[in-house]
Amino acid sequence: MKILACNSNRPLAEAIARELGLPLTKAHIQRFADNEIFVEILENVRGEDVFVIQSTSFPANDNLMELLVTVDALRRGSAKRITAVLPYYGYARQDRKTGPRTPISAKLVANLITTAGTGRVLTMDLHAGQIQGFFDIPVDNLVAAPVFADDIRKHVGAGERLVMVSPDVGGVVRARSMAKRLDADLAIIDKRRERAGVSEVMNIIGEVEGRHCVLVDDIVDSAGTLCNAAVALSQAGALSVAAYTTHGVLSGGAVARVTASPLARLVTTDSIQATEAVANAPNIKQLTVAPLIAEAIRRISEERSVSSLFD
């Protein structure tokens, strides 16, 4: 087994390699003057089980192309099996046609990854479960719930005063799963925009007054929905409001928005490398998923069950 890191999230790749007790495979990844990507694998990979770690986060197109070129280099170097480890799967939000003449980019990216020579994909908390079906190769979709559950017990608590909150109707399954894991109640934010140019109206389904509320989601990007939900919960009498989201995209003015919001804590994983602004924000924290991904890699290499990790 060999572990190869591309450039999108080197700290996470190095942490995974440490967990596995393996050195990162030596490779030379460079860009020419016109920004073309060139990859040279500096070790023999013939007949090896190779895991390539690369989140396709910002800049998504560059990181995706880097992954594809690396996989092609490994395939031409006669690697036995190439597994793309994507802690964050970019383009996942484009998983269906949202209007006439619009793409399904998540499917296009799946095709590109497969055609490049990938034999298997390991990812985490896909935005939509059906994306697994976009691939014609095996896909293991890890969940960050066990990591989050431990942290919630430690910093927020558990039991009858705890409520898991879905920030929209689409995330109910995720919030319900976390509520079951923590033996907590469930609430849902019903978000509506009455007409163009008028701010969203937040209706809360469930009892949150006098409770510790935890918003659960898979991606936080602009953080607008999350912060609006935190305001609505606070106005409804919540004792405290925290948020746990797997992938901290946090683009634009998201960090400033979170810092100024009623959120006591926004917790993400290190599936996306933290920017300086995220690292310095007083109420944003990252939890590492390196042990989780490392154990999944170990099990895949040894042909053991990955799903039993979450039993």
At 190, is the secondary structure helix, strand, or coil?
strand
To the question of whether residue 257 is assigned a binding role by annotation, the answer is no
To the question of whether residue 195 is assigned a binding role by annotation, the answer is no
Identified catalytic residue from 2, 26, 80, 191: 191
To the question of whether residue 168 is assigned a binding role by annotation, the answer is yes
Amino acid occupying residue 148: F
Instruction: Please state, in angstroms and rounded to a whole number, the distance separating the CA atoms of residues 95 and 82.
Output: 24
Q: How far is CA 44 from CA 25, 26, 140, 193, 302, in A?
A: 9, 10, 27, 57, 21
Known catalytic residue at 180:
no
According to DSSP, the residues that pair with 184 across neighbouring strands are none
Strands (E), the chain: 2-5, 27-31, 37-41, 49-53, 81-86, 120-124, 139-142, 162-166, 185-192, 201-205, 212-220, 240-248, 265-269, 284-287
To the question of whether residue 190 is assigned a binding role by annotation, the answer is no
The structure tokens 């933290």 sit at 274
Q: How far is CA 134 from CA 17, 86, 94, 129, in A?
A: 29, 15, 12, 10
Give the strand pairing for 185-192 and 162-166: parallel
To the question of whether residue 308 is assigned a binding role by annotation, the answer is no
To the question of whether residue 35 is assigned a binding role by annotation, the answer is yes
To the question of whether residue 94 is assigned a binding role by annotation, the answer is yes
To the question of whether residue 271 is assigned a binding role by annotation, the answer is no
Question: CA nearest 289: which of 267, 307, 259, 257?
Answer: 267
To the question of whether residue 106 is assigned a binding role by annotation, the answer is no
To the question of whether residue 221 is assigned a binding role by annotation, the answer is yes
To the question of whether residue 217 is assigned a binding role by annotation, the answer is yes
To the question of whether residue 270 is assigned a binding role by annotation, the answer is no
Question: CA nearest 12: which of 46, 42, 57, 47?
Answer: 57
Instruction: Please state, in angstroms and rounded to a whole number, the distance separating the CA atoms of residues 112 and 148.
Output: 32
Amino acid occupying residue 103: P
Instruction: Please state, in angstroms and rounded to a whole number, the distance separating the CA atoms of residues 138 and 131.
Output: 12
To the question of whether residue 245 is assigned a binding role by annotation, the answer is no
Instruction: Please state, in angstroms and rounded to a whole number, the distance separating the CA atoms of residues 214 and 230.
Output: 9
Give the strand pairing for 49-53 and 37-41: unpaired
To the question of whether residue 49 is assigned a binding role by annotation, the answer is no
Per the annotation, binding residues for ATP are: 34-36, 93-94
Per the annotation, binding residues for D-ribose 5-phosphate are: 193, 217, 221-225
Which residues are catalytic, by number? 191
Per the annotation, binding residues are: 34-36, 93-94, 127, 168, 193, 217, 221-225
